[in-house]
Structure 1
Amino acid sequence: MAPFLSTYFLILISAQLVKSSGVFELKVHSFTTSSSSSVCEQSRECKGFFRVCLNYTQNVFSYRLACSEDTGLPGTFSTDQSSISTSAPIAVPFNLKWLGTVSVIIEAWNTESSNDQSTVCDEFFYGDDCSDFCRPRDDPFGHFNCDAAGNRICLPEWKGEYCAEPICRSSCSEKHGYCVAPGQCECFYGWQGPRCDECVPYPGCMHGTCQQPWQCMCDEGWRGLLCDKGQNI
């Protein structure tokens, strides 16, 4: 028999952390709910539990930093408050190395006793512990969709871990060029041409070529720094 949701609530508490690591602990002293589960009341085989997650936010990005293991409590919340007040604190180990905001999310659940331990994640969260975050986007911070497992799938003409790197024109030299938008080819300093595979010769080079930027290798019959003097001069 699959788990069902009896009560769900969120409490958001923000804090600034810099290069922090440790264990966040939360002690629940009491819990009340205006709703009740007729299935729990009839079977008396329900188990309540709390789940605490830490969400890390920096700029526009939000990540599920860490979650506690489900803390089981016998009986239902409405009829067995003593099991809540005497339970151990809920511990959430964390490791954070950047300045940002961490929000504490507390969930209270009732489930029917069952061998089926499947988890239903919130929107945009994936994995057995719902700790993998993936939200489709198409903006300067990324261009991707998410598959059923929460993996990022890049939109056409984008690549990279966050699908923020444009794929250049197919003939663009990756060694001497780059692009800021799909299908473009911008040359590094010292290179030119539609494929960025032509070196820029020394300024003023008259009758010469180059193999590397700023060279002036004289054609046959010419000499001088700028290859502007004939051999018979």
Structure 2
Amino acid sequence: MKYTYLLTIPFMFLLLSGCMYPQSERSENQIPNEEQLAVVQQAVETYREEEDGLVPIQTKDSDTHIFEKYLIDFKQMLEKGYLSELPGNSFEEGGVYQYTIIDPEDDLQVRLIDLQTTEQLRSVNVRLDVYRQEHTYPAYGQQITDQIYTVDYEKLGLSEPPTAKSPYSQADLPIVMDLDGKLYIDYSYDLNQALEEDNHGYEEGDDIRYLLVDNYPFVPAYSLPYTVEDGQAVFMEED
């Protein structure tokens, strides 16, 4: 595995699937309520204790991105009485967040996927799919690494480079693609801020995305692994 410095233009990738999140005008559905998150966290822990180590998660393909792989199955939790109602900000209740577990075996932390960010990535992917129907190759822009490119936004009929709003900093994070045309979000801006602010013990070769997972209610959805080198967030690229 080799490590490649991230450029000042952030980038990333991951093919997005799924549909637009349900719409709701209730303001409580649009914010990451810490109390709701804590209630779900306790319910998931109780579930595992009382259900012989099982965890209420939806079945996903083995190659599903790590932060989208263990979505909480609220139907199970409601039916078995571990929750009396759904979190108001959850996708299932018309909110803009999916609740996910980091690792059902080793790390039972409950976190949120911001579906507003997901929708921004999806909208670019729709344009990319249309482009691919008429062209042999994806709309590659500038080459960033051997495996990562910016998106040629003009080829997709966009007026500016596509971005997704960060759930951490609210910054506009660039969207990039890999060699297969899969789209990802570049969280290098957020990661570099976290590296500066957190008294971390991460070393070269460690996946530093968990700096965000451990300190915020969100996961960096649709991201690539990063490590740290000379104090900066860098891509981890497979040979």
Question: TM-score normalised by the shorter chain: which range applies?
Answer: under 0.3
- Between Structure 1 and Structure 2, the one with more helix by share is 2
- Between Structure 1 and Structure 2, the one with more strand by share is 1
Q: What's the TM-score, normalizing by structure 1?
A: 0.20
